[in-house]
Structure 1
Amino acid sequence: MLTGERTVSKTGLDVAALKPAECDVRRALELPFDTVAIDYEGRERLPSTELLSELAAEKRVFVTTPVRADGFDPLGDDSLYDTLPAEVDPVFVAGHPAYLTDAERSRAIAPRLGAARERNADAWVGTEGIERVALAAGGPQYELLSRTTDRDVRALRAAGFEETIVLYAPTVCSDDEDEILDAVGGYVSRRGPVRRALPEDAPTDSSATGRAREVLSKASRDYTLVGTPEEVGQRVRELKALGVDVVAGYPARGVDEFLD
Structure 2
Amino acid sequence: MDVEDPGLWEDLFVRDVDEKPAQFVRPADTSDPTWAVYEHGSYLGTVKADQAGSETMWRSAPTRETHRRLDDAIRALRRPPSWPRERAQASGWARRLLADDSLIALDVETTGLTDAYAVQIAAVDRRGAVVFNEYVQPDAVLEPAAVAVHGITPDRLAQAPAFAELLPRLTDVLHDRVAVAYNAAFDRGVIERELHRRHQGDAAAADAWLSRVWWEDAMVPYSVWRGLWSVKRGVYRNQALGGPHDAVADARLIIAKLEQMAATPPTSPW
**TM-score (normalizing by structure 2):** 0.30
Judging by fraction of residues, say which structure has more strand: 2
Larger relative CO (CA 8 A, sep 6+): 1 or 2? Answer: 1
